[in-house]
């Protein structure tokens, strides 16, 4: 190990800046850099074919690839791990960012695993985890592992105290999968600023043990909201009320109460078709968050919770949480067919509103990760059939293309903006690429 975390942070010029919350305009879909003169967002125009065959972008935009799985190396010579997924950019001063990036790797993979440095490893039998990258615009300054020995680190979310919550999308245990030494299905806190001094990663058991997808934090109350990507039965959306709300790095270890979403008389959110539909929300206590004998989502009677087919990304912006359902199929038991929903949850009013619905057979399908720019524009990462796009919806629910993976049918993941909104960082999972995109975001 030639570089440690503190050395990397020093080299990146890190200072103790506060985290810039996304969503600075009232109309989160506005797509304008000037909140004083908002305009209706109508997309950035059709995409221009990339002569390199990597990423198609609208005219005036450009990209750079700065991290390649299996090709680039980390300090010590290990290859960059594969299966890039959820990611978050944290401001590090002087126009620089620290990116914490998930690696959705399972035992038995032949892809490069996250190097298992001693103080970073939870279970030596699991190849997943996170890496942290120091970047300035589209230039990589340094990178190294920051969590190892975890299982299928899918998405996650940032906290108001500048840490990353990395989510395991599994329920595997030593009893269900040979070789494992510990239970999995937890959330782990990763601090890009090295304020946690643990001898090994600490699972946040009170946040539940289930196939986690993503998590976000209400910066006003400290309440967490979590999504579960699961079936038989479908997963749930959860609320976690911590004992030490907004307590800073490590505070979630103090525990709290985990609850599941209930919309009275609605058993499956896919049943809702009309944009603008608002539903009242209540919450039901989870009996056993650690799922000692029964999966968390199966502990509560169907009549008392509302299920979500393919519950995926969740992101906080301007006082509300945006929640993604990737798709629903009646052939899988869903109430209706759709190719993607985005819901807006308002915790002050305890309401859910449907703000985007993609119908089967359209150009776009399978939205997964979600982010919101500092200018207020939503970006969705497609994990659908065939071509996959970064998608920018308008306020009326019309989806527009922002980028296309021209190199393969692999999904997009981990879209996240720099604090100043100039750079969008994103991953092409199957191709093992992390890219930086910039351009006239105010156009359109």
pLDDT in tens, 117-167: 999 999 999 999 999 999 999 999 999 999 999 999 999 999 999 999 999
Q: What is the pLDDT of residue 405?
A: 98
Is domain 5-438 given the CATH code 3.40.50.300 in the classification?
A: no
Q: Residue 253 pLDDT > 90, yes or no?
A: yes
Summarize the confidence of residues 413-441 as an average pLDDT: 97
Q: What is the pLDDT of residue 444?
A: 64
Q: What is the pLDDT of residue 104?
A: 98
Residue at token pair 């908002």: 38
User: How do the domains of the chain map onto residue ranges?
Assistant: 5-438
Q: What is the pLDDT of residue 40?
A: 81
Q: What is the pLDDT of residue 376?
A: 86
10 token code pair: 């020093």
Q: What is the pLDDT of residue 39?
A: 61
Please write the tens of the pLDDT for every residue from 11-48: 444 322 221 222 222 233 443 333 333 468 899 999 99
Summarize the confidence of residues 299-316 as an average pLDDT: 97
Q: What is the mean pLDDT of the chain?
A: 92
Q: Which of 17-26, 61-70, 133-142, 268-277 has the lowest mean pLDDT?
A: 17-26
Summarize the confidence of residues 244-255 as an average pLDDT: 98
Q: How many CA atoms lie within 13 A of 302 on its CB side?
A: 7
Other C-beta atoms lying within 10 Å of the C-beta of residue 310: 27
23 token code pair: 């969503």
**Local confidence band at 108 (pLDDT 50, 70, 90 cut-offs):** very high
Alpha-carbon distances of 21 from 143, 170, 194, 318, 437, rounded to whole Å: 24, 29, 21, 8, 20
- Pick from 269, 262, 403: nearest CA to 341: 269
Please write the tens of the pLDDT for every residue from 153-208: 999 999 999 999 999 999 999 999 999 999 999 999 999 999 999 999 999 999 99
Q: What is the pLDDT of residue 375?
A: 84
**Please, where are the H alpha helices in 102-217?**
none
Q: Report yes or no: 362 and 389 within 8 Å, Cβ to Cβ.
A: no
Q: What is the pLDDT of residue 396?
A: 87
Quote the CA–CA distance of 353 and 278 in Å, as a whole number.
4
Q: Which of 26-40, 247-261, 267-281, 285-299 has the lowest mean pLDDT?
A: 26-40
- Cβ neighbours for 228, distance < 8 A, ≥ 6 positions apart: 210, 211, 212, 213, 235, 236, 237, 238, 296, 297, 308, 311
The length of the chain in residues reads 444
pTM, to two decimals? 0.93
Chain centroid to CA 303:
29
Sign of the C-alpha dihedral computed for residues 7, 12, 17 and 21 taken in this order: negative
Q: What is the pLDDT of residue 397?
A: 87
**Local confidence band at 5 (pLDDT 50, 70, 90 cut-offs):** very low
Q: What is the pLDDT of residue 395?
A: 86
Q: Phi/psi at 53 (nearest 5 deg)?
A: 70, 30
**Local confidence band at 114 (pLDDT 50, 70, 90 cut-offs):** very high
Q: Phi/psi at 73 (nearest 5 deg)?
A: -125, 150
């Amino acid at each position: 190990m030639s570089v440690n975390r503190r050395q990397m942070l020093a080299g990146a010029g890190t200072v103790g800046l506060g985290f810039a919350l996304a969503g600075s305009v009232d109309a989160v879909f506005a797509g304008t850099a000037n909140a004083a003169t908002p305009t209706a967002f109508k997309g950035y125009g059709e995409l221009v074919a990339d002569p390199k065959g990597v990423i198609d972008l609208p005219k005036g935009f450009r990209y750079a690839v700065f991290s390649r799985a299996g090709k680039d190396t980390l300090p010590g010579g290990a290859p960059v791990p594969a299966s890039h997924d959820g990611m978050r950019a944290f401001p590090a001063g002087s126009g620089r960012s620290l990116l914490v990036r998930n690696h959705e790797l399972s035992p038995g993979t032949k892809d490069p695993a996250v190097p298992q440095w001693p103080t970073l490893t939870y279970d030596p039998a699991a190849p997943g985890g996170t890496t942290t990258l120091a970047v300035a615009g589209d230039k990589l300054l340094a990178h190294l592992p920051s969590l190892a020995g975890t299982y299928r680190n899918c998405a996650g979310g940032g906290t108001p105290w500048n840490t990353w919550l990395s989510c395991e999308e599994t329920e595997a245990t030593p009893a269900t999968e040979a070789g494992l030494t510990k239970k999995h299905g937890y959330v782990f806190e990763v601090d890009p600023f090295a304020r946690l001094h643990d001898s090994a990663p600490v699972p946040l058991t009170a946040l539940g043990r289930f196939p986690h997808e993503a998590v976000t934090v209400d910066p006003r109350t400290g309440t967490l909201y979590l999504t579960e990507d699961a079936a038989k039965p479908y997963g749930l959306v959860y609320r976690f009320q911590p004992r030490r709300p907004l307590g800073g790095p490590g505070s979630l270890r103090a525990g709290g109460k985990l609850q599941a979403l209930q919309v009275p008389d609605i058993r499956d959110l896919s049943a809702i078709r009309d944009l603008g539909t608002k539903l009242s929300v209540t919450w039901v206590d989870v009996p056993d968050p650690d799922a000692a004998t029964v999966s968390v989502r199966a502990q509560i009677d169907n009549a008392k919770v509302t299920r979500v087919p393919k519950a995926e990304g969740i992101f906080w912006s301007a006082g509300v949480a945006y929640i993604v359902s990737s798709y629903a199929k009646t052939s899988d038991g869903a109430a209706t067919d759709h190719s993607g929903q985005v819901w807006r949850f308002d915790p002050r009013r305890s309401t859910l509103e449907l703000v985007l619905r993609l119908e089967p057979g359209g150009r776009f399908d399978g939205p997964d990760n979600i982010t919101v720019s500092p200018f207020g524009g939503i970006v969705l990462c497609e994990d659908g059939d065939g071509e996959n796009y970064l998608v920018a919806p308008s306020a009326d629910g019309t989806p527009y293309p922002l980028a296309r993976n021209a190199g393969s049918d692999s999904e997009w993941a981990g879209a996240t903006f720099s604090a100043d909104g100039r750079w969008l960082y994103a991953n092409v999972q199957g191709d093992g690429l992390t890219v930086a995109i910039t351009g006239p975001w105010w156009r359109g």
